[in-house]
Structure 1
């Protein structure tokens, strides 16, 4: 939702998908425990790719934070593409039910939309969502991942290492993955280096 303006700055066709289920979205992965939303989003992506005749190596799925998680997930489901993301959540349950979640409307809202309830016992279930996707689609993925993350933000330890572990476990070559360590202090600081990276890619391609 933060990058609608990319349509005016990038040299390419931009499809902006807004995750607007509930107040704060659902990663476009589950609504009330049902994952049929994935079929709708995949159909949209495939139609746009077909209509614009986009070569597989010229497709980019991009986003930060929740949008980064979604970009990775749909790249895996498509089976191809260049995925460029900043600080995605891989352990969704750990993120939504982190310390202080009881007083955070954002976390409760996302959990409620995804599962239809708010219950800390769902942490394990939510944590499994990403692994299920990479387990099902990872071995046939033929694209590239570029993940930007900081160390001080704890995303490297709390999320990104799980992505690399899952990738190895489920057959994604290390050659497909680039992890860029960015010197940032807070999670939201990823935005500027992420936008600069997209500008570099757009100018180069």
Structure 2
């Protein structure tokens, strides 16, 4: 979930996966019961590929759906991958499902975009019958534009070598819709400027195609203060926001009577809330959060030699940040392991780093927090050893199989609030024979490690409400113990614990 902007509107982030390609989105609920929906398509320079996400829409009353134009790392005009328009259908699926959840028809939707996003607003608006379309400095001949100006996008959309036949097909997408009279009653607003170097070839030659449209409006912004393609938008933001507010209120600037309003403050929002929950970008229940094997929790680490190591099964990359600041990301290897270094020395003192995993579809795991202390000099080792030494009867044992890794607990994660008092513990301990569990020095049980290094254990009782701190340890073939970091967690369930009389674990 993204933080709320200054206006207090909460931004919800999710992924629609019902189509061929996953489509990422952001959503903000309408204010004061407003039911209109504004769908926003991004331009090439949009931050994180979400257009108009710099706060300019904060005061709009409508529901807002931002759609990310980032498919397999590429931009696409929301249209196609190597001429496969299943990408377009994936985008339409997202819009349709949000409309259904809001109980809206196309008459209560405005498509909005600038440049590349303006082209998408025109294409989707005309083809699928949306009532309102606002296209700011769009490109009409899309194939020619990407071939000449965006070669990477051209290869992704049109195929390797960018065949001329494919250029012509994509060039014709928007003009052919207009020639056919598609959605002729739509309220269409196109803005451009003579100062835009794209205007003579990408806009002006196509304006005449709209002569039979009932409410086509062209705004020519001619000002000596406009120097390029991008500045056309900036100079016209107040006017465009005024236009958008009119459309949200059901007013299309034209002669005739209009109806204003549409607010329903007490309307049931359960359908759209259910959809947003079902497609939320965080899917922690479906794959575990990253486990950190080094450094250990609250471990002093030399600040110029900090290296994070761990496991993240089910993820393709791990993302790290501290106090809201992005630190970096790293890929997860095929065996589930990952490692990462900052590249510069850390500031002295305690650090609280948060991590999450991302799977191939873009869904995120729950967060893992690691605390460690960065120190100067030789007060600490660079990392906590992955296979720490253990002692048995005073003799140092080293009978750990090659490739062994310190025991890692994947579920529950450290400091997790657990709702179900009957807990199944899972993790990995490659190279060891068993994993054991103690609380307050009392042995709770042991479980065997599978050949692939995985293990799971259930105590057989319901854990008492409150905080528990387990010492988890691995056992090698000779019976020597190798400890892992302590595992604190809190049982939140209100049911009374039913552990056997011999043991009612916990510190509560």
Shorter-chain-normalised TM-score: which range? 0.7 to 0.9
- The one of 80, 83, 98 equivalent to 1:33 is 83
| Structure 1 unaligned spans of 5+ | 102-106
Aligned to 1:131: 175
* 1:86–1:194 contact (8 Å) kept in structure 2: no
- The one of 219, 228, 233 equivalent to 1:180 is 219
| In structure 1, C-alpha distance between the alignment counterparts of 2:98 and 2:52, rounded to whole Å | 19
| In structure 1, C-alpha distance between the alignment counterparts of 2:70 and 2:236, rounded to whole Å | 22
Aligned to 2:51: 2
Structure 1 position 201, deviation (Å): 3.0
Partner SS, residue 20 of structure 1: coil
Q: 1:97 to 1:115 in 2, by over 3 A?
A: closer
The CA RMSD measured in Å over matched residues stands at 2.4
Partner SS, residue 64 of structure 2: coil
Structure 1 position 125, deviation (Å): 3.5
- The one of 186, 210, 221 equivalent to 1:143 is 186
Q: 1:125 to 1:174 in 2, by over 3 A?
A: closer
| In structure 2, C-alpha distance between the alignment counterparts of 1:39 and 1:2, rounded to whole Å | 20
Aligned to 1:21: 71
Aligned to 2:152: 109
Aligned to 1:104: none
| In structure 1, C-alpha distance between the alignment counterparts of 2:182 and 2:51, rounded to whole Å | 31
| In structure 1, C-alpha distance between the alignment counterparts of 2:112 and 2:213, rounded to whole Å | 20
* 1:23–1:109 contact (8 Å) kept in structure 2: no
- The one of 128, 133, 143 equivalent to 1:93 is 143
Q: Specify which structure has the bigger relative contact order, considering alpha-carbon pairs within 8 angstroms and separated by 6 or more residues.
A: 1
Count, aligned residues: 193
| In structure 1, C-alpha distance between the alignment counterparts of 2:221 and 2:125, rounded to whole Å | 23
Structure 1 position 199, deviation (Å): 2.0
- Name whichever structure is richer in helix by fraction: 1
* 1:57–1:143 contact (8 Å) kept in structure 2: no
Q: 1:126 to 1:55 in 2, by over 3 A?
A: closer
TM-score normalised according to structure 1 size: 0.80
Q: 1:30 to 1:135 in 2, by over 3 A?
A: farther
| In structure 1, C-alpha distance between the alignment counterparts of 2:213 and 2:185, rounded to whole Å | 12
Partner SS, residue 200 of structure 1: helix
* 2:134–2:189 contact (8 Å) kept in structure 1: yes
The farther-off stretch of 181-190 and 122-131 is 122-131
- The one of 81, 85, 100 equivalent to 2:131 is 81
| In structure 1, C-alpha distance between the alignment counterparts of 2:177 and 2:213, rounded to whole Å | 18
The farther-off stretch of 146-155 and 82-91 is 146-155
**Corresponding position: 1:53 with 2:103:** yes
Partner SS, residue 16 of structure 1: strand
Structure 1 position 11, deviation (Å): 1.7
* 1:79–1:142 contact (8 Å) kept in structure 2: no
| In structure 2, C-alpha distance between the alignment counterparts of 1:23 and 1:87, rounded to whole Å | 25
- Name whichever structure is richer in strand by fraction: 2
Q: 1:120 to 1:22 in 2, by over 3 A?
A: same
Partner SS, residue 180 of structure 1: strand
Q: Deviations over 1:135-160 (max 9, x none)?
A: 56x33443111011001214332122
